[in-house]
Structure 1
């Protein structure tokens, strides 16, 4: 992707074009009203999480359609990676390290208080000239594998500074909850109150924000932004076997550090793959973000002691770098078993029924909405026997289930188009007219 304008052109499929015609999208009109608009997108982007980066890509495409002349910037964890891929201005989410030794020593002597105080000031200065700050999708408001002073505090800091700057703050299709630490809940409640527009990717997320004491009466639910991504065109090779896609995750429990949970998960996945390969199936192992590769390697190592070289040849793996790559690989399969949430989303996006081995309630919500509740269970408690039986049941109903999935995804994409109209008329049409605090940096 070279720029947001190029991205806008590449995703104009027939559904988008029809929506623009019905809702009166006009390039001249959009240019006239948003010519000076500056929008910052904030999130944990560039760290190898394909789901987060896919949400960013989808929102860049959306903004390219509804306000094509707007200047975009991304406030993110790894600016170099994001700038290289998306071709936009980037701002580092966290403070840079202190390079001068004497200054670092003085800061430590004072309990690091001066540098901590510098964080909000830096955010305030960096936001000079912006009209709107948006969180585009992602599981933004949960502390899964995090601490209160990780992303919960960072979101609060930047959003508070955005409000002080006079920026419009908006959340689009975000995931929220759970939060295990009481301080995380406090930070999320304050951050949510900063937004004048909020939408959530499911009712569970909206209910979580409501549980924090935030009034969500006017907030909407819209599907995950990744459902708005275009599906890559892939020519599938003819296969005599049913191909099962298996999305593998480096899953170590909700706290993120349990080796016993990880080993049990890898062992069960390895046994499942062994069983279905011996039955004549082919398997494609698929990762969902960069650090999942270690789990794929561990699964393959377990297979080496169970399968002959000929059988092992029916298990394939190719690295992915984005949700686009994940969707391309899934199009070469007939059915998918997945753990990472956006692997489930990718399978559905390309029209495939999926068995979800979930780790948060968002899996259950998505499975229920797509009619696949019978094919969703906990990643920590599933049995190999259950998984194999569910695979057989899904294959027996594959055509029916695939048709239902395609109908659901078509509905999701229409809902995302509806959200585009809301963003255009309710958020960005007014953002440029808001007075900005003009303190110089």
Structure 2
């Protein structure tokens, strides 16, 4: 055994022992309670204790620099930690926009003062951030945004509207794209950090088809934002925004279903559809489609792991491939699950349906948004064709 293998083996033993002492066994397998487009940390002593333990250790953000409250682990050590957590049903309690998107971006583009102020609370899971990107007239064409930030000397005065702002009804802070110049479309955009408690910020939740309120409209009316809350240089917001969206797509591409029916589809199908005399699913066509989906899902999961292993400086344009492939996997699974369950797959309320069946119906509808948020399927296809395949628009 070489030195590196010996060190990794020692780290595995350390991680296993620490998890055994600190992970509340009452939470085993309950990581889905953390998963939502707009996370709110669950309440209760065990939840709070687990979040504090992981925050103090830095393992909620394992590869972030230790000087800002992260774990300072290598990618190999972080992979070992994930493996040991999965073995006992543990999970990271720091899941959200702050950890998956904002934090990595600020670590690259923020000033030292900004990192010292904003990164430690994210590592400890003490704060929720939201993303102020889309507007009623600026969705797929995000650079058409009109929310304006006027220079008032010692502060910016922000006026405008954002929509589909994930988790803004729970967030304390918002990273926001604003227009600081009308002379150029992309080059006129800047990246501001806005305290959601600032006078003039109004949040109006949006109820989705699934019945959830994970998004909202956000209105800014004469909102004063200190100059020190500008990330990067003036008019450099589009560059920062694109980098952040790479982190976002990486997260979307790697996402798994965490609510509803989570068992393998072939197992669920045998229960709902039945088997033939040979013990096979009693529907050859459905059986073939389930196998194709499981092959796609497995290939996608292996690709996610390979891209993560090969990444040197963070997400690349390959995140667009993962985002589209992951969306297809989730949507296909949801639709197959509904077909397998038959009329029980459209249960919405009432005791005639199990909680799992009701959750599965809602999850199927929520999955439809995967090909829209984080950049539409078509936008990702354009990125893939131009930046990966080297194709160019015909003149």
Range of TM-score over shorter length:
under 0.3
- Which structure has the higher relative contact order (CA within 8 Å, separation 6+)? 1
Q: TM-score, normalised by structure 1?
A: 0.24
